[in-house]
Each structure stands twice: as C-alpha cells, then as structure tokens.
Structure 1
Amino acid sequence: MIAQFVVQKTHNRATIYALDEHPRGHSQGTSYISNLTVVASLSGPHVEHADWAVWCMNEFLCGGPSRSGPTDENLHFLRSKLPRPVWQSVATFLHGLAPIEPGSFDEERGQVVRDIRHFSTGAMEDLARIMESAFDLDLGLRIANAQCGCQIEWIATVRTSTGTYRNDRTTWSGERRTWTLPPHVELVETCHLFEDIYGALEIALAGSSKGRRVRIHLARPYYVPFVDDDGPDDPDPDHYWVVDIFDAPVPDRFTETGSTREL
C-alpha cells in the first residue's frame, strides 16, 4: 500500500518517490517492509515546487472517498506549475492508486494508519483495560474472537490511529466503521455504542458465547461541515465502539500451515 509521498532534493534536481509499505507480521509487534518507487523528477526552476507537489499528493492520498481522480483544487493549481510531462507522470500515478480501505488513513491528521502491537487474552477485564487505554491515548483498536485449541481467545491489535470515516452528506456511505467487513460472511448485527466500553464487551461476549464470529473496533468521524437552510449540520460524537456479529463460527486463529489467520 502506498503510505506517503516523499521528495529528495539537491540544489538543481528533485525526485518524488512513493513509499510502498507491506506489513511483516510478528507474534506481538508488526514491522513493515518499505520500497521506494520513482513518480517524477523536477529540475531547474521547477525544483522549488517539489515540496508543494508532495504536500498536494499526500493530501490527495489521504482524501477518503473523494479520491476519484486527480481533480482536487490543489492539484489543478499544481498542474499549472509543473511541466507537462511531470504532471502527466503525477496524474497517472495518482489515478492508479488503489481504493482506500476503511481505517487505512487518518484524514484529519493526513497519516497512514499502522498496526503497532498485538495482544491475546481470554479475560474480559484485560480487554476492558486495553480498550480504556487505547481510548485515552487516542489510538486505534481492533478486536476479534478466535478459536485457540479448546478455548476462545480475543485478539487485540493496537494501531497508530482509529482511521477516519467521512460523515458529510455528500460522501458519507452511512456506515460508521473504520474496519472493512470480511468477504463472503453474512453480517447478523452491528451495534454502535458511544464511548461505552462495557456495553460493547457485553454485546460481544453474548455473540461469542453463541459460537458466532465477533469483531469490535473504535471508529472516529472526519467531520466535513455542511450547511443547509436549517443551519449547520451537527457532527457525530468523537468515537464509537462498533461491534459486528456474523453468521459464521468463531474462526481458528491459525491456518493449517501454522501461520496467523487474518481476522
């Protein structure tokens, strides 16, 4: 996944790179393999536009559902400042970006979201402490139940941010979530709880006790003000605990080859 754009400059040349990151999972922490891909190069008097170009490209990269093509106002201005071949390289690269997965970017901070650490526990009190800490520290958190031998454990992934969803009336899909639903699995119920940790845990535990697959995550809106004839639209609360219960059995934590299963 393209995580950000960076620039390397000398006195008469600037090269814009795309930083492509791939997670390399470990039992508790997560590290990343990074590769640099050349997007475009600037020379002569155009070097002074390199930092602005990278800023515009990173804004576009984190732009939520609005990422549909290089049509952003800032990019239009940038187009007027760059040589035609350079702009064509930038526009082609931006147009080829993969769609944004929910929760992969924090649009408010303009940052890609990364996993920090993984925990597993069978105790609800441990989960409550992890959830409280993530909330207090403004970190992201994803929790899923998993079958580990003869017992069910809860796998918690702490992230650098919750990621954001847009809730303005023009682009909001109606979903308050920053974790993509798993494919080919029927969703039975989704509950949104405003800062209610123990309420979320109670719902999750009830679903898990019935042998169902359950996931919990923290979601935060990126509010885009919208004003109509009745005045400004009211924003969502700061955070939601989202509990998903699926019509599927609790998944095994490990695959047949012994690797950790994506939950």
Structure 2
Amino acid sequence: MTLALVKEPYEQLAAVTTLRAGDLHLTEELVGGLNSYLADRDGAALQTVLDRVPKAVRMAAQRYLEERCAPELGAFTGYGPVDIVREAVYFQRLDGELQEFLDGAYMIGLGIRMWNERRRDGGVGWVVQLRSDEVSVPASAEPRTWALPAGTRLLNTWTSQEPLGDLGPVRAALVVAEAASGEGRRVRVHTLLHSDRDTDFEGNGTSEFVVDVFDAPIPAEDLGE
C-alpha cells in the first residue's frame, strides 16, 4: 500500500493506492515519482512512472493527486511536503535583531517567508514564517517559490544574485525591503534554492533571497499575508 501523510486537520496517513505482491518492486519508483511530481509538477515524468504500474494503481494515484494535491507553489520538494516550523514571528522593525534571526535560519537551511504589515497604530511591522526546507527551482525558471497574490501588480523583483555592494544576502535583502516599504509599498521576501541545471535540479544550486515589491499599499496586519 502507498500512503500519504496528510497534515490537516491533523496528521494522519491516507491510502493512495495498493500494489499487488507481484508489483511491490515498483514501490520505491512510484513513491519517488509522486514526490517529484508534487515538487515540480512535471506531468510527463510522472506519466513515465505511472505507465509502469497496473491500470488500477495508475487511476487511483491520478485521482488522489487531483482531489487532494492541488498545485501550491513552494509546498513540496522532491523529498515530500514542506512543513511550517514557525507560523509567524513578529518584529516591530527591520533591525539587528531581525537580521540575526534571519541569519540563523538561513545558515541552517530553513525556508524563509517574510512580509510587511501596517499595524493598527500606523507603524509598519514585519512577520517571518520559517519553513522546514528551501524549495528548488530549475536554472531557467523564474526565481520564485511563493505564488504572487491575486489581483496585485508586481512592480519589481530583486534577488541576491544582484550584488548590493559588499553586503551579504540577508542584509542586502533587508535593505531592499526596507527601502520599498519606506515608500509605502507591499513587500514580500522569501528564499529558494536556484539550481544551476534544468534537469535533476532538486537540491542543486545556490540559495537565494527574493524580494518582491508590489504596486500596492502595505496591507493591514489583520489581512495576514
């Protein structure tokens, strides 16, 4: 039996499909193919795997993916789902404390998402979400593993591949984010692993910070992300 770990409403195992005794040698290939598909949504590669298993198994896997695994950018790596380690850590300003916090998370390979919010007192705060891993993108792909908010125009994107003097990636990202936020714009920051290849790209490449600046005002804190 092939199982999936379902996170909501609580962690539980859900049956995806069952392989017969004569097909058990395909288990590792099937699980690997499903995990890879969740990470890169490469339907052709998945179909190659599914063509090797019995029709009933293929149909069950396809039905499970359709019903339970809708595409969500940045939610999976080739090794499985990305977990949220810290849902939300709040900072009153972009200062040394925030930089130290991000430096620590970045050094140990956690995924980072951060955004600005307009507090009720009129000031601007920052919210950081830590994730269990950085998601890989192919060399030729857009450097983004966080879906853009619907109905909001992207003004520009900066990545840490664009040097900012002699600043390190964390400090440079904060400088870019602070400047845009100071103009009253909505800002989101996240990290990813930008591969140097387009095939077999999972886990290869350079860790990058991405700063998205939107042609929109800073959202109120009760609107979240």
Normalising to structure 2: TM-score of the pair?
0.80
Read off the aligned partner of 2:47 and give its amino acid letter: T
8 Å CA contact 1:105, 1:164 repeated in 2:
no
Q: CA deviation at 1:44?
A: 4.3
Within a 5 Å distance, the mapping from 1:167-182 to structure 2 comes to 167-168=139-140, 172=141, 175-182=142-149
8 Å CA contact 1:138, 1:161 repeated in 2:
yes
Q: CA deviation at 1:40?
A: 2.2
**Which runs of 5 or more structure 1 residues have no equivalent in the other structure?**
1-14, 23-31, 227-235, 255-260
SS at match of 1:190: strand
Tell me the alpha carbon deviations over residues 202-250 of structure 1, each in whole angstroms, 9 at most, x when there is no partner.
1111111121111111121244357xxxxxxxxx961221111111111
Read off the aligned partner of 2:132 and give its amino acid letter: T
Q: CA deviation at 1:95?
A: 5.6
**Greater strand share, structure number:** 1
Alignment correspondent of 2:188: 215
CA distance in 1, matches of 2:169, 2:25: 50
CA distance in 1, matches of 2:38, 2:73: 13
Q: CA deviation at 1:262?
A: 3.4
The structure whose RCO (Cα within 8 Å, separation 6+) is larger is 2
8 Å CA contact 2:137, 2:194 repeated in 1:
yes
8 Å CA contact 1:19, 1:37 repeated in 2:
yes
Question: Which structure: larger Rg?
Answer: 1
Q: 1:71 aligns with which of 19, 38, 47?
A: 47
Q: 2:84 aligns with which of 115, 119, 141?
A: 115
CA distance in 1, matches of 2:207, 2:114: 16
Read off the aligned partner of 1:181 and give its amino acid letter: L
SS at match of 1:197: helix
8 Å CA contact 1:142, 1:158 repeated in 2:
yes
CA distance in 1, matches of 2:219, 2:114: 13
Read off the aligned partner of 2:173 and give its amino acid letter: A
Q: CA deviation at 1:144?
A: 0.5
Alignment correspondent of 2:115: 144
Residues 47 and 130 of structure 1, relative CA distance in 2, 3 Å threshold:
same
Residues 20 and 68 of structure 1, relative CA distance in 2, 3 Å threshold:
farther
**Which runs of 5 or more structure 2 residues have no equivalent in the other structure?**
162-167
Q: 1:55 aligns with which of 10, 17, 32?
A: 32
SS at match of 1:42: coil
RMSD: 2.7
Matched, 1:166 2:138: yes
Residues 86 and 196 of structure 1, relative CA distance in 2, 3 Å threshold:
closer
CA distance in 1, matches of 2:68, 2:139: 23
CA distance in 1, matches of 2:58, 2:171: 52
Alignment correspondent of 2:128: 156
Within a 5 Å distance, the mapping from 1:82-121 to structure 2 comes to 82=54, 84-94=55-65, 98=69, 100-107=71-78, 110-117=79-86, 118-121=88-91
**Greater helix share, structure number:** 2
Read off the aligned partner of 1:149 and give its amino acid letter: R
Residues 50 and 244 of structure 1, relative CA distance in 2, 3 Å threshold:
closer
CA distance in 1, matches of 2:43, 2:20: 28
Matched, 1:16 2:5: no
SS at match of 1:202: helix
Normalising to structure 1: TM-score of the pair?
0.70
Read off the aligned partner of 1:140 and give its amino acid letter: G
